[in-house]
Amino acid sequence: MELPPPRHLLDWQYLDDHIWNACLNRTLEHYRQGKNAYSHVARNRSLGLLFFNPSLRTRTSMELAAIQLGAHATTLVAGQGTWQIEWRDGVVMDGPEAEHIREAIGVLSQYYDALGVRVFASQTDYAQDRDDVLLHKIAQIATVPVINLESAFYHPCQALADAATIVDHLGGNLQGRRFVLSWAYHPRPLPMAVPNSALLMAARLGMEVVVTHPPGFELDEAVMERARCDATRQGGRVIVVHNQAEAFEGAEIVYAKAWASRLLYTHPEEEAKLRQQYRSWRVTPALMARTRQAAFMHCLPVRRNVVVDDAVLDSPQAIHLKEAAFRLYAQKAILEYVWHLPPFDR
């Protein structure tokens, strides 16, 4: 008998609204149970976590979520205690890489019941990053569910936690309520996974999504188009405003994030020069005063007084720590989903 394909979470775009809504509701249920709610629903299951990039929240919340469901979790940091991994096919492996991704994922699939993988953007090959080629390669090799712990273009675990944070903060009816995704200056050219996922998340909630950024920092057109379609389907809309102060008018959620210019993806020196021109794009108390007492969100880590002022982060309007707390509850819902556990067993 042929086995059904593993239930991956590569990004929410591949899953129907009813699964997204069920995961969102389940995240809120876990939140109501609190941070010390342990069960045995996933006993005898194991989760392997493979990080090609650093993490504080994703790693700890996913490990703890597995443990709280009764499962076992192991974290591997690629290249630190593992063999260096080769991604390319058909190469003569006579360099520093001693293990191919095909064997690494093939072997881990033999041991674990699901694999979480973090593999960021190359930031040198836009087409590869946009199509999440490395993550999809892992999903093709794996014989168990793969959970995207932040890929080149998407961060679905963060998106689910963010959605639950907003529902908890604003209540159920989010149609037409203003969510501002604000570009912010950062000394490094950051990837687009979080802004892409935050945009799609707010659109799927039916909010009025305002994306504000300086010229030259446009998000991927296909992602924008999908967000517009999702927002329209849910009774919301997506607009772009290049004036940050204007964008903040009437906002109920301000979500700050830095990202690199995709137009200068392969020209890092020119990209840095362009970015430098917009050092003043920082969330300040004056900007927040233009909002409707908006809550301030950020996925973290955040650079204080570069992306956002201390006075905003330390104010009652900042809900970034609660947002981070929701990561644990979202991870539990995601593990239940990929493992077909209740309420995802029907």
The footprint of ligand CP (CB under 6 A) covers 55-58, 150, 158, 299-300
Nearest CB to ligand CP, comparing residues 109 and 123: 123
What is the chain's alpha carbon radius of gyration, rounded to the nearest angstrom? 20
Nearest CB to ligand CP, comparing residues 46 and 55: 55
Encoded tokens for 108? 């881990």
- From 178, 182, 239, 185, select the one nearest 205 (Cα to Cα): 178
Helix ranges restricted to H, 48-98: 57-68
- From 30, 23, 22, 18, select the one nearest 61 (Cα to Cα): 30
Q: Do residues 324 and 300 lie in contact, with contact meaning Cβ atoms separated by under 8 Å?
A: yes
Nearest CB to ligand CP, comparing residues 158 and 244: 158
Q: How far is the CB of 36 from ligand CP (least distance, A)?
A: 21
Q: How far is the CB of 9 from ligand CP (least distance, A)?
A: 14
Q: How far is the CB of 242 from ligand CP (least distance, A)?
A: 27
Nearest CB to ligand CP, comparing residues 167 and 299: 299
Q: How far is the CB of 56 from ligand CP (least distance, A)?
A: 4
Q: How far is the CB of 343 from ligand CP (least distance, A)?
A: 26
Nearest CB to ligand CP, comparing residues 55 and 317: 55
Helix ranges restricted to H, the chain: 17-33, 57-68, 101-111, 126-130, 133-141, 156-170, 193-204, 221-233, 244-248, 268-276, 285-288, 310-313, 320-338
Nearest CB to ligand CP, comparing residues 61 and 212: 61
Q: Residue 77, by phi and psi: left (phi above 0), alpha (psi -120 to 50) or beta?
A: beta
Q: How far is the CB of 120 from ligand CP (least distance, A)?
A: 10
